[in-house]
Amino acid sequence: MQEEFEKSVTNILNLIGENPKREGLLKTPARVAKSFEFLTQGYKADPKQVLNDALFASSNNEMVLVRDIEFYSLCEHHLLPFFGRVHVAYIPDKKVVGLSKIPRLVEVFARRLQIQEQLTEQIAEALMENVGAKGVGVVIEARHLCVEMRGVQKANSTTSTSALRGCFLKNDNTRREFFSLINSSKQVRF
């Protein structure tokens, strides 16, 4: 597969009018192949395995929020990066998940070709299904280079998406608390 990928990159370089044999581009096909292997490693990861090996019994039934999880992904429409922060909260139901597993879950889905809307949904669904939470809330705020570098070329514009499940969707107070914690905590830095 590596060899086929490198040939494709060489072909692209030829098509845009570059010389793949010039010094600066000699190793580019191999570098791009290695880069894409890393940037799309989420296809090889199983969200269930990421979460299930770190579930712990707990009597906690209050909101758990991990915010400002940085992520980088590739837009499936243009193969250009989009990046930003993810805020993930859940209400446990007799089990909590190890806190480091939530950013790992974000990585599983971010390291695939994506659209932000789907990324938001996938994180919420995986957490809801695999942790058995009473509810889940996910908000993503991101910048898209397909918007900034091409097309409308609007630098620094951001896109926000949310996915709410269970009590986050059904209970106004839970939903309000979630959004309040995200918004108020933006002003607090350690």
Q: Kindly list the catalytic residues.
A: 75-78, 116, 144, 146
Instruction: From 68, 161, 148, 154, select the one nearest 115 (Cα to Cα).
Output: 161
- Are the CB atoms for 133 and 166 separated by under 8 Å? yes
DSSP secondary structure string for all residues of 39-100: HTGGGG--HHHHHHTTEEE----S-EEEEEEEEEEEETTT--EEEEEEEEEEE-SSEEE-TT
Residue 64 neighbours by CB distance under 10 Å: 17
